[in-house]
A and B are shown apart, each in its own frame.
Chain A
Amino acid sequence: MGLTVDHLQVCYRTLRGDVKAVDDVTFSIEDGEIMGLAGESGCGKSTLGNSLVRMDVRMRQLGGHVELDGKELPISDAKAMHDFRFKEVSIVPQYAMSALNPTRRVGRMVAEVLKSRGFDYKSALPELERRVKLVGLDADILKRYPIELSGGMKQRVVMIISTLLNPSLLIADEITSALDVSTQRAVGEMLLEFRDRNFVKTTMVITHDLSILAQVADTILIMYAGKLAEKAKGDVVINNPLHPYTQLLISSLPEVGIRHDEHTLVGIPGRPPPLLNPPAGCRFRDRCPFAFDRCTDEPPFVEVKPGHSVACWLHGDGVLPSGGV
């Protein structure tokens, strides 16, 4: 059970050709697991998340297979997905809290969403109020307009709406980016709360901010240039990453307590490769300090330790460059 993604390929159609934002991605999330999907801008993480719920008019699935709770998820068929959306899969999209209709009271908005799925607002109201109180808001928030709410309150309202029908899969796209530090924590704790109370079975948290994932995610999946780089349990990825990209990325993040004079951090030189015509071989090759001749072939994403998968020849099949250990 849970989510299984098998060799998924999704591209964007543009003037200049097809941009392969998600290039042959395979992974799975168990029931009750919160998986963080991290990467920089342009790595394809948002595309991956969005393609599982709603394919944009510019997106196209080129191949692959997605299964949720044992059933196939017909992500390219918009009509078929309509039945799944909101009930089985749900998304809190980027900028969701800015997208609340300013002319509707919150309660009315919820009623409209429920009605579109064939549910009655009045019968759902007690549960709705219970959840609103659970996340630390007042029940009378349903009578307010979005403009009266703060950013954190809006984000929480959006999350409640998205999870009202207890979806099996929740995709949270950059839900903490625009928030103050104190509300980031509230929203993060909310994700954990929802999982613990079984409102949501599997959660995929998409973000560029690894420190949030360090707090809420059970496993972390790192994406680079459309491909998967590393997947492991949260603290393993943070403390003992294997992929050079992850290692360099984590060591370049400033933390409270590190000062420039004492310990100068170093970034990763260069830029991610263009996804329009990606280079052959390992996509990180040009920026990787450990690249060797094997890297001209694309490394497979394999499990090198229990629960820890990497796409890197340094750990792939035990073959290391000469002179290595």
Chain B
Amino acid sequence: MLVLDNVTKAFKTGTFGGGTLPAVRGASFEIRPGEVTALIGESGSGKSTLGKMILRLTPVTSGTITFEGTDIATLKGKQLREYYRHVQGVFQDPFSSYNPVYRADRVFATIRHSYFPGVSADEWRERVDKVLESVGLNPVDVRNKFTHQLSGGQLQRILIARALLLDIKILVADEIISMIDASTRVDVLNLLSNLKTRGLGVLFVTHDLSLGNYISERTIILRRGVVVEMGATQKVFDNPQHEYTRMLLTAVPQLHKKWEGELGAEAEVMGAASQDQDRGRPGRYSKSSLHPLAGMRGRKGRRAHAVATEREFAAGLLRTDTYLRTHEEVPPLIAIEEDHFVAIPTGAR
């Protein structure tokens, strides 16, 4: 439905606009109806820029974004308004998304003005009430209130309701729950997941792997503006191929698993790989050679092991980043298995 083809975004930098900063390079993927696609990346990965490009809030430098066959860069005026009838976005900071001068439900009035001029006041009120209920809000609680009187969760839901009024086909959700209280986050997430039963395609932009894993059917992993791995969520999480993806999965802090858990094998592989690179000598290196104390038991051993692993992470990240920085062409995506693609080279041996 929405297809990105080799999309690149470069910002001009430098005193006289001479330099360029590539925020996104050669991104190609699809957002399909009835699916949640998770776009996972850390800070500086370009994920928000991708969201903004899809929403036409910032222009594409090269490549095309096609919605139902039409290149969105060509849309102007009325056509652009029609595009927004089908594609909407919700942003990260609920308090910044509302104009503080007005009441919160003005967001409905603005789209009524643009998209539903002929609808009578009573019918409009009915429609708004109905859509508010469908996102789990009681209309009485949110009508006529100012932004500071409502909670982050309520504000985000109102924005989703606003998008639903327009009968959209694609929703871009850019880190929409990171600023909501932890106890209510999951409700908004569930709401997002339910949208796919209505046939919507949702692009869920986040840095949090566990959230992506929770609601998405497909996952795209982004590093420094380049897609390094993508595919069906189960496959990407169960069988990560790219060095960066594996690092993400091992480093993410989890409630029921300590950090040191699975590091041994990973550290060994990456440690061996880097040693090979550095010294040009083949051979295996045992765990203990990573750090003098690494083989020891107890606290000291655990710490030394962790220090060694952290250095391996840093080295691995450096490898990926250096490759991405020094190579002009974006590494191509190869299919590892069905519906699972990895950028080659993957970094890991």
Contact = CB atoms under 8 A, between A and B. Distances in A.
Interface stretch (A60-68, A74-82, A208-216): A208-216
B252 A260 contact: no
Given A185-B253, A256-B209, A136 B314 contact: yes
A2 interface: no
Contacts of A41: 181
B140 interface: no
A214 B182 contact: no
A214 B213 contact: no
Given A136-B311, A258-B214, A214 B186 contact: no
A253 B186 CA distance: 7
A209 B248 CA distance: 17
Contact of A215 (B207, B233, B253): B253
B136 to A, nearest CB: 9
A264 B190 contact: yes
Given A40-B182, A136-B314, A214-B256, A271 B151 contact: yes
Q: How large is the interface on B (under 10, 10 to 19, 20 to 34, 35 or more residues)?
A: 35 or more
Interface residues of A, number: 45
Nearest to A208: B182
B184 A268 contact: yes
Contacts of B247: 182
B254 interface: yes
Interface string B288-305: 000000000001100100
Contacts of B248: 181-182
A212 B253 contact: yes
B303 A189 contact: yes
Interface string B179-207: 00111111101100100000000000001
A256 B249 contact: yes
B307 A189 contact: yes
Contacts of B42: 180-181
B299 to A, nearest CB: 7
A209 B182 CA distance: 8
B255 interface: yes
Contacts of A239: 256
Contact of B255 (A180, A196, A238): A238
Interface string A207-241: 01111101100000000000000000000001100
Name the residue among A40, A182, A266 with the largest chain B CB count within 10 angstroms: A182
Nearest to A42: B181
A181 B182 contact: no
Contact of A188 (B190, B211, B253): B253
Which of B189, B233, B255, B259 counts the most A-chain CB atoms under 10 A from its CB? B255
Given A182-B317, A209-B253, A192 B186 contact: no
A258 B185 CA distance: 15
Contact of A259 (B214, B303, B317): B214
Contacts of B300: 196
Nearest to A180: B42
Interface stretch (A84-92, A160-168, A244-252, A302-310): A244-252
B29 interface: no
5 contacts: A211-B254, A238-B255, A253-B186, A254-B186, A254-B210
Q: List the 9 shortest-distance A-B pairs measured between CB atoms, nearest first.
A: A268-B183, A267-B187, A254-B214, A211-B253, A180-B42, A40-B181, A267-B186, A265-B186, A254-B210
Interface of B: 42-43, 151, 181-187, 189-190, 193, 207, 209-211, 213-215, 233, 237, 247-249, 251-256, 258-259, 299-300, 303, 306-307, 310-311, 313-314, 317
Given A253-B186, A259-B213, A267-B190, 5 more contacts: A184-B251, A238-B255, A258-B213, A258-B214, A268-B184
Interface of A: 40-41, 136, 151, 178, 180-182, 184-186, 188-189, 192-193, 196, 208-212, 214-215, 238-239, 248-250, 252-260, 264-269, 271-272
